Amino acid sequence: MTTRRKRAVLVTGGSSGIGLGLAERHLAAGHRVMITGRGPGRLAAAAERLPGIETFTNDIATPEGRRRLAEHVRRAMPELDTLINNAGIQRRVGIASDRPPWGEAQNEIDVLFAAPVHLSQLLVPQLLAHGRPGVLVNVTSGGAFFPQPFAPLYSAAKAALHSYTVNLRHALEATPVDVVELIPPAVATELAGPGRAHGAGLDAFCDAVFPLLDGSRAEVGFGPTATPDFTEQRAAERRAFEAMSGRFTVPVYRPDGRVADRRSSAFGR
Q: What amino acid positions are annotated as catalytic residues?
A: 154
Among the listed residues 221, 12, 236, 227, the one whose alpha carbon sits nearest the alpha carbon of residue 111: 12
Pairing relation of β-strands 8-11 and 134-139? unpaired
Question: Which letter does DSSP use for residue 6 in this model?
Answer: P
Task: Count Cα atoms within 13 angstroms, Cβ side, for 209.
Answer: 29
Pairing relation of β-strands 252-253 and 259-260? antiparallel
Distance CA 197, CA 181 (A): 23
Distance CA 264, CA 253 (A): 11
Residues 6 or more apart in contact with residue 12 via CB below 8 angstroms: 19, 35, 36, 37, 60, 69, 84, 85, 86, 87, 115, 116, 119
Question: Which letter does DSSP use for residue 200 in this model?
Answer: B
- Degrees to nearest 5, angle at CA 235 with 231 and 170: 125
Which amino acid would we find at residue 256? D
Which amino acid would we find at residue 202? L
* 46 contacts 17 by C-beta, under 8 angstroms: no
